Structure 1
């Protein structure tokens, strides 16, 4: 039996960005549909319209997302995440940020600038198992 896996995705879309391109990139790269996202219209600091997109995917769709994510990140970036793993998780949740602009062009690049925030959750009951579990997830795409 596969362990439970949930992926939480959050990003901000500015008025100058093409929302359809973002939805298309998620569909093509991760098979995450527009309908999987909740949209919240907000107002920015300078009264500019912004949209907050949020999606929580579970089960097989989450497993597929993680496999595609891990397969799309360069080996060097995976190694960087693993080396800094203790700063990238809290309890049973792994935190990652990827470039929204790179995603639109079909690439997955770690970035803190204008990021797509990704949280990957799986129940890990022993503190000692956390790093091994997330290392396996990052190197094999499975838990």
Structure 2
């Protein structure tokens, strides 16, 4: 599984691709939509931005999977949104403030089945780790978006 530094480098390159293409490229990866998620750092209080795939999206919500490539530790972005559920999400069509909700039990199993059917790599990530990989639903808030 990739190291944290490798993943951070990949994120920086991905953000650069979006920037140099004026937003025309980089919003799709492995056939999934890509989002730019900004959380508030749980220790620093600073904005922290990461590029993530979103295997399920609808008009009113999107789903993120805190897989970290099957690592035994949760990704920082997930730990951050557990502390402060209001996040900023940027997609190819704009940005919104959203509320993050970690799904549990039956709802998680239903989503996990759909995600792993459509994107089997997630199942292989789960096989690599003893932790249950969290699934997060993002729902728009009524808060104005800041660009």
Which bracket does the TM-score occupy, shorter chain normalised?
A: under 0.3
For normalisation by structure 1, the TM-score amounts to 0.25
Q: More helix per residue: 1 or 2?
A: 1
Larger Rg: 1
